[in-house]
């Protein structure tokens, strides 16, 4: 059986320029979908999958994330004094236990691969997960839990994938597939953001990864790729000769909250699955569709 996945890395150092001016003074990961920030969804998904340690790779002006995953004694006292005990209970319910969260800083914006490498001392010599909060996934069970179940079958590196239109391959890391049973696709190579005519497939990597610790050996080489950044895709590709690599088709819907339309759709979709909101949201959508 493959070694258990206990730790997860959350790269949250990005500037969120596509959401300016909203993200001028607020981390993009703190943008709310319905009533909780994107990063909380990612952490809750990881915890539901059995993750015990949460490593945030932050940057400047990201203190709001640290504050969010800490107790607000003034707020809790005010709610308690007002008799809003259920609200206090809800605030505490999703909080990781003391010592489960750690932070490290990516001091230069050198790419996703560099951000993951910055977490190396917190991960050590064991497999781990990476979750990108921009990719919000509506699924039950959660995407990472599904991936871990698949990982227990095949080991190695496993990434969440979905098919994209060929004209969009230049936005993603794309798998060069050897075998594909519709559930797991075994890859012999990866290409970062290929032109549509050069893409070996349309199977794209999205923001969920299970990685073996030998990825840090590749990332330590600090080789730059597309965009003059240290690409995680390139490092993963170099591990393939010695580490099995599979793309996993998850059961669920992914929303790209790194762009305005994906973020707007996520708010609608997550509202519609809530019994206390769906009727009112349907009325609002109908009102503005006339």
Tell me the pTM: 0.93
The pLDDT score that the predictor gives to residue 274 is: 93
Which overall architecture, per CATH, does domain 7-258 show? Alpha-Beta Complex (3.90)
Cβ neighbourhood burial of 91 (10 Å; 0-12, 13-18, 19+): middle
Mean pLDDT along residues 22-27: 86
Contacts of 189 (CB under 8 A, 6+ apart): 175, 176, 200, 237, 240
Mean pLDDT along residues 105-123: 93
Q: Is residue 96 pLDDT above 80, yes or no? A: yes
Q: Is residue 244 pLDDT above 80, yes or no? A: yes
The pLDDT score that the predictor gives to residue 1 is: 64
pLDDT tens sequence across 58-79: 988 788 999 888 888 888 889 8
Mean pLDDT along residues 104-108: 90
Q: Which two tokens stand for residue 258?
A: 């790194």
The pLDDT score that the predictor gives to residue 17 is: 82
Per-domain residue ranges of the chain: 7-258, 259-290
Q: Percentage of the chain surpassing pLDDT 90?
A: 68
Average pLDDT score, the chain: 92
pLDDT tens sequence across 152-182: 999 999 999 999 999 999 888 899 999 999 9
């Amino acid at each position: 059986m493959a070694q258990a996945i206990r730790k997860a890395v959350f790269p949250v150092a990005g500037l969120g320029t596509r959401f300016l001016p909203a993200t001028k003074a607020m981390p993009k990961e703190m943008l709310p979908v319905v009533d909780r920030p994107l990063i909380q969804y990612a952490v809750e998904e990881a915890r539901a999958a059995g993750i015990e340690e949460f490593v945030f790779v932050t940057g400047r002006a990201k203190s709001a994330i640290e504050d969010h995953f800490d107790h607000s004694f003034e707020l809790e006292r005010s709610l308690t004094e007002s008799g809003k005990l259920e609200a206090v209970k809800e605030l505490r319910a999703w909080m990781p236990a003391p010592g489960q969260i750690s932070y490290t800083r990516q001091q230069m914006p050198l790419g996703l691969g560099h951000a993951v490498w910055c977490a190396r001392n917190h991960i050590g010599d064991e497999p781990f997960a990476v979750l990108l909060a921009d990719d919000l996934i509506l699924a039950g069970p959660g995407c990472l839990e599904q991936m871990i179940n698949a990982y227990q079958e095949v080991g190695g590196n496993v990434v969440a994938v979905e098919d994209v239109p060929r004209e969009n391959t230049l936005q993603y890391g794309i798998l060069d597939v050897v075998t594909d049973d519709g559930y797991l696709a075994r890859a012999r190579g990866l290409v970062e953001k290929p032109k549509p005519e050069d893409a070996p497939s349309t199977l794209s990597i999205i923001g969920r990864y299970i990685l073996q610790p030998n990825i840090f050996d590749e990332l330590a080489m600090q080789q730059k790729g597309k965009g003059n950044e240290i690409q995680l895709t390139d490092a993963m590709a170099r591990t393939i000769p010695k580490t099995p690599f599979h793309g996993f088709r998850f059961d669920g819907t992914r929303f790209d909250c790194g762009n305005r339309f994906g973020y707007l759709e996520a708010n609608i979709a997550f509202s519609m699955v809530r019994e206390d909101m769906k009727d009112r949201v349907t009325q609002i959508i109908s009102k503005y569709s006339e």
